[in-house]
Structure 1
Amino acid sequence: MPAVLITGAASGIGRAAALQFAQQGWDCLLVDISPAIAELPQHCLAQGAASAQAFALDLTDTQALTQLGRQLAALPALDALVNNAGISDSSGRPLVEQAPAQWQRLLRLNLQAPQALFETCLPSLKPDARIVNVSSGAGHKAIPWRGLYSPSKAGLIAWSQSLARRYPQLSVSTLCPGFVRTELVQGLMDAGRLALADAVAKIPLGRLAEPKEMAAALVFLAQPQARVLSGQVLSVDGGSGIYGGSSRCALSTAVPAPLQTPLHLQLQPGSDAACDGAWLQALQAEDGAQVATTPAPCQSLISTQALAGGDLVEAVLRAGQQFAAAHARDASLLLLLPASAPDDVPTWQHQTALAAARMLVATLACEWAAQGLRINALLLSPEQATGAAVAQLLPLVRFLTGAQAQFVTGQSLDISGSKESQHG
């Protein structure tokens, strides 16, 4: 069975991830500084883990990492490494007033420890192993009065992308959680120190994420089918990272769907017969049944309209309008966008339109969120839009459109590998 090493596994997202890996039968190696980590293996075994072992250690301790490396050498090779451990700064003190010991501890654990642990685990990683680093939405935006938390998370994102380039045989991705209802957050709300309405004021989907939703993303990113996301950042934040409005987001009254809710995909076709045919054939082969090709009420929709050429922004808006007209609430739209320019379109013109289209995706996500409607996009190369590559992308498509990613909205992920699209 596959093996995964998870740090920060004693509580919160790490614990939820350990239990979900266990449910899928993984060998679970569980690392945390808390003595509570000793109790987790038995829970993982009860959930179905092939094996489970706890390591109580401080990830900033060089000698402890050396000892961990020796122990790993005697164990099966790792299929995945999840760098989840981290701390925040709740002192509220300005950075200029902090003693070195205060900010150095945070930087060592949040940024330097993942790098040191990777070097420790490298001899024990399988050639195609997956590395998943847990950053934060704070890595994209400065959060004052929390010390070096935002800088450390920004550095972690940059290191992940650098690592993906340095080790192309590995899959290295970053998860950026939004506001999650961890034990700590729930305790603050129970004590009256945090109001739920204040917590979701900048979350378009109008609720907090549950740890199990972050865990579902980690489990997906740790599997071979997530290789197309190597070097990418997946923000599971309910749209908070894309929201630029000045008004407060309303609390959602909807109940999140169970993570294992069956998924029903439909195709919203464009005018490219080869592209539509490839996607329809792949969907039919996977589901073993006919797939509708006309806009109609369904749980999830894949749109190829923007791949058919013409004005990119207009195509995205038209696809969105058709989707919204057919779905009152609780549905998901995934747009497929061309990452590179057609031969008859200048690169600068395509990149201009693509930037506008990506912002349109984010804008629609913010406007639709109160209805429980989600929209995301994948930027594809011409080779990925048709042929055998389509079937290889279906696991990612099913993840993004299904219940396991129901806290993901407004994201445009470039999986084309195109330098043009990445630097446009």
Structure 2
Amino acid sequence: MTRRLEGKTALVTGAGSGIGRAVAIAFAREGARVIVSDVNVAGGEATVAAIQKQGGETRFIRCDISKSSEVEALVRGTVEAFGRLDCAVNNAGIAGLMAPTGDYPEDAWDQVIATNLKGAWLCMKQEIQQMLKQGGGSIVSTASVAGLVGIQMAPAYVAAKHGLVGLTKAAALDYAKANIRINAVCPGVVRTPMVTVSTDQSKELEAALMAAEPVGRMAQPEEIAEAVVWLSSGAASFITGAALPVDGGFVAQ
């Protein structure tokens, strides 16, 4: 098996469960040393244990990405641990409240934007500064199909993910000549804790989510992770500023 990220250092936020955990495990499988980060300490440590079980080199650093001081400490801690930062995955995010635009509470709006958009930008800012020092790197952010099309009852989430896609494009252009590639993945419905908490209480909702996907099922987190690994590897060396749908055909409808 080709270890596509041998000798690289990777940072994955929101790695305590779901897509982030799958990405962190996949990076380790491909030979990267992995910094696992999450606000959920137990979840993050469980991911670290899973990576260590397969022989990977990893450490956990707790971080609330909505706080600039914690993000600075996260990137600094990554470099202190492993010497550099080659691949960053800005995956941490929250679903937020479901409500129509005219009824959406301001505090709920601020919370979603602070994590899903501002938090991703704070991470990107620090990652870019480190990558400039070392001569390059790759950044992949987890956006969503909600960053490409509208979704009812989720104005803050849709606004944040559209903003993240725009940020990805702008940043990619800013650093295209600095050997820093910046891309996003846009997953469809993925079977993660964010989804299963709701669907466990409503089989009708689960059926509706699967029916919304042209392939007739949800994605597994590992399927998104494979796209992230590819975008982070040399195989995607001429790709920057892309928002790649990994969505079972959702946005093609």
Taking a change above 3 Å as real, the CA distance of residues 63 and 195 of structure 1, as seen in their structure-2 partners, is: closer
Determine whether 1:99 maps to 2:109.
no
- How far did residue 96 of structure 1 move? 3.1
For residue 67 of structure 1, the aligned residue among 55, 64, 73 is 73
| Structure 1 unmatched ranges of 5 or more | 244-424
Residue 162 of structure 2 aligns to which amino acid in structure 1? A
Q: Which residue of 1 aligns with 2:226?
A: 216
For residue 206 of structure 1, the aligned residue among 192, 198, 216 is 216
* In structure 2, distance between residues paired with 1:170 and 1:57: 23
- Superposed, 1:232-247 pairs within 5 Å as 232-243=242-253
Asked whether the 8 Å contact 1:24–1:48 carries over to 2, the reply is: no
Asked whether the 8 Å contact 2:65–2:71 carries over to 1, the reply is: yes
Q: Which residue of 1 aligns with 2:33?
A: 27
* In structure 1, distance between residues paired with 2:117 and 2:62: 20
Q: Which residue of 2 aligns with 1:130?
A: 138
* In structure 2, distance between residues paired with 1:40 and 1:32: 10
Asked whether the 8 Å contact 1:4–1:80 carries over to 2, the reply is: yes
- SS of residue in 2 equivalent to 1:8: coil
- How far did residue 187 of structure 1 move? 4.2
Determine whether 1:81 maps to 2:88.
yes
For residue 207 of structure 2, the aligned residue among 181, 197, 204 is 197
Residue 72 of structure 1 aligns to which amino acid in structure 2? T
- How far did residue 193 of structure 1 move? 4.2
Deviations 1:176-199 (A, max 9, x none): 000111134334434334454322
- SS of residue in 2 equivalent to 1:78: coil
Residue 235 of structure 1 aligns to which amino acid in structure 2? P
- How far did residue 230 of structure 1 move? 1.0
Deviations 1:117-152 (A, max 9, x none): 122223432423111011000111121222311111
Deviations 1:234-279 (A, max 9, x none): 1011101111xxxxxxxxxxxxxxxxxxxxxxxxxxxxxxxxxxxx
Taking a change above 3 Å as real, the CA distance of residues 18 and 202 of structure 1, as seen in their structure-2 partners, is: same
Q: Which residue of 2 aligns with 1:179?
A: 189
* In structure 1, distance between residues paired with 2:204 and 2:91: 24
Residue 153 of structure 2 aligns to which amino acid in structure 1? W
Determine whether 1:42 maps to 2:60.
no
Taking a change above 3 Å as real, the CA distance of residues 198 and 97 of structure 1, as seen in their structure-2 partners, is: closer
What's the RMSD between the two structures over aligned residues?
A: 1.8
Determine whether 1:158 maps to 2:166.
yes
Q: Which residue of 2 aligns with 1:378?
A: none
Asked whether the 8 Å contact 2:12–2:88 carries over to 1, the reply is: yes
Asked whether the 8 Å contact 1:38–1:54 carries over to 2, the reply is: yes
* In structure 2, distance between residues paired with 1:220 and 1:176: 14
Taking a change above 3 Å as real, the CA distance of residues 137 and 53 of structure 1, as seen in their structure-2 partners, is: same
Larger RCO: 1 or 2 (CA < 8 Å, sep 6+): 2
Asked whether the 8 Å contact 1:95–1:145 carries over to 2, the reply is: yes
- SS of residue in 1 equivalent to 2:69: helix
Q: Which residue of 2 aligns with 1:384?
A: none
Asked whether the 8 Å contact 1:137–1:237 carries over to 2, the reply is: yes
Aligned length: 241
Residue 210 of structure 1 aligns to which amino acid in structure 2? Q
- SS of residue in 2 equivalent to 1:122: helix
Please say which of residues 66-75 and 219-228 is displaced more in the overlay: 66-75
Residue 58 of structure 1 aligns to which amino acid in structure 2? D
Please state which structure has a larger fraction of its residues in helix: 2
- Superposed, 1:174-323 pairs within 5 Å as 174-243=184-253
- SS of residue in 1 equivalent to 2:71: helix
| Structure 2 unmatched ranges of 5 or more | 1-6
Asked whether the 8 Å contact 1:130–1:224 carries over to 2, the reply is: no
Q: Which residue of 2 aligns with 1:117?
A: 123
Asked whether the 8 Å contact 1:82–1:132 carries over to 2, the reply is: yes
Structure with max Cα Rg: 1
Asked whether the 8 Å contact 1:13–1:182 carries over to 2, the reply is: yes
Determine whether 1:10 maps to 2:16.
yes
Please say which of residues 148-157 and 58-67 is displaced more in the overlay: 58-67
Q: Which residue of 2 aligns with 1:170?
A: 180
- How far did residue 80 of structure 1 move? 0.6
Residue 130 of structure 1 aligns to which amino acid in structure 2? S
**TM-score, scaled relative to structure 2:** 0.88
* In structure 2, distance between residues paired with 1:234 and 1:9: 20
Residue 88 of structure 1 aligns to which amino acid in structure 2? A
Deviations 1:339-374 (A, max 9, x none): xxxxxxxxxxxxxxxxxxxxxxxxxxxxxxxxxxxx
For residue 157 of structure 2, the aligned residue among 140, 149, 152 is 149
